A and B are shown apart, each in its own frame.
Chain A
């Protein structure tokens, strides 16, 4: 059972902005950095955002992560058809001494 809660789905039309939330606690998001992964159908996950709000090289600036307290969010602006994928938040949990993933959000364009 995931300790980070995400909405199961989100959708938008091309060009719109979509935001995905990730709710945790003081032992994970509240005290450690949040990372986001994109998983396109049939492929391995790809790091989309790390350290709460940093983008790896090559990730478009349409993707932006943020964090406040024990919650985090990923915003996708200028939504494109190739953004259809599953998105997972993740963080280290100090109580579990484990890396924990969110429940995942399926984005439909």
Chain B
């Protein structure tokens, strides 16, 4: 069965960096695109980033562009999110999710991990 396990969350001061990881199993990781989605406490879902199956294409939400970098290591079945210049409004649970294609040629998240909490506070 598909399993996605996020790690690396914690409390960090504004302006500092944090790197999240997502360990994938139960499917051929190198064949699927992957997403990061976040959810601030008590708020809705916000898409963060998408990486293609081979890492050649990356897309970012405007709110994180230039500060966050999505990457993957297909040899280790692992997805990463490097977060720099963190701000208090980046505080959220961060989920990784597998991306699958649809009739419109776009990639939507299907399976999700349980998430890891990032708190940006001084």
Interface string of A92-108 (1 = CB under 8 A from B): 10001111111110000
**A98 close to B113 (CB less than 8 A):** no
Number of interface residues of B (CB under 8 A): 26
**B110 at the A interface (CB under 8 A):** yes
Which A residues are CB-close (under 8 A) to B37? 45
Q: A31-B104, A33-B102, A33-B104 are in contact. Are A50 and B110 (CB under 8 A)?
A: yes
Q: A31-B104, A92-B104 are in contact. Are A100 and B47 (CB under 8 A)?
A: yes
Q: Whole-angstrom distance between the alpha carbons of A92 and B50 in the complex?
A: 11
Closest to A47 in B: B110
Closest to B113 in A: A44
Which B residues are CB-close (under 8 A) to A44? 95, 112-115
Closest to A37 in B: B45
Q: Whole-angstrom distance between the alpha carbons of A30 and B100 in the complex?
A: 20
- Near B by CB (< 8 A), chain A positions 20-67 give 31-33, 35, 37, 39, 43-47, 50-51, 56
**A2 at the B interface (CB under 8 A):** yes
- Sorting the interface of chain A by its residue count into under 10, 10 to 19, 20 to 34 or 35 or more gives 20 to 34
**B11 at the A interface (CB under 8 A):** no
Q: A2-B44, A101-B47 are in contact. Are A32 and B106 (CB under 8 A)?
A: yes
**B44 close to A104 (CB less than 8 A):** yes
Closest to A102 in B: B44
Closest to A56 in B: B110
Greatest chain A CB density within 10 A among B60, B110, B115 is at B110
**B46 close to A101 (CB less than 8 A):** yes
Q: Whole-angstrom distance between the alpha carbons of A96 and B61 in the complex?
A: 8
Interface string of B92-104 (1 = CB under 8 A from A): 0001000010111
The chain B residues found within 8 Å of chain A, CB to CB, are 35, 37, 44-47, 50, 59-62, 95, 100, 102-104, 106-115
Please provide the 5 A-B residue pairs with the shortest distance between their CB atoms, ordered closest to farther.
Answer: A92-B106, A99-B47, A32-B104, A101-B45, A33-B102
Q: Can you list 8 pairs linking A and B with CB atoms under 8 Å apart?
A: A32-B102, A35-B102, A44-B114, A45-B95, A50-B110, A92-B108, A102-B44, A103-B44
